[in-house]
Amino acid sequence: MLSDEERNRLVKTCEKFPDAGKVAESYSVSSSSAYRLIRRMKDTGSVDLKVGTGGRKPSLSHEDIENIRRTVLEESDITIRELNAKLNPGVSDETVRTKVA
């Protein structure tokens, strides 16, 4: 796998020399990989690796979490079930409990 720097160098070299197959060979990648990187550079302006684009979205918004914390400070004896029923953030009691701590 090529580093971001090597990817950029490969694309710049392909711009200078029209034979992408030979350039790809010098970087020990397939010609289809070189063409894909050239296309990505044209489409997005970057060939850098994508990092951290996946993962589950938070079930509670920042505003929901602040409402939970504020309510707990105001009503320190409120139970998790009561807190969830009062604020109704649309999540389980366990999710609310994790944000109280």
pLDDT along the chain (101 residues), means of 10: 89 87 89 91 88 82 93 93 92 92 77
- For residue 1, what pLDDT is reported? 78
Boundaries of domain holding 40? 4-44
Distance CA 55, CA 72 (A): 29
Predicted TM-score of the model (pTM): 0.51
> Total structural domains in the chain?
2
- Residue 62: its pLDDT value, please? 93
Residue 56 lies in a domain: no
Read off φ and ψ for residue 8, nearest 5 degrees. Answer: -65, -40
Please, are residues 89 and 83 in contact by the beta-carbon 8 Å criterion?
no
The radius of gyration computed from the CA coordinates of the chain, to the nearest angstrom, equals 26
Task: Report pLDDT for 87.
Answer: 92
pLDDT at 58: 87
pLDDT of residue 32: 92
Residue 21, pLDDT score: 86
Is 55 part of a structural domain of the chain? no
50 falls within a domain: no
Give pLDDT, residue 85.
93
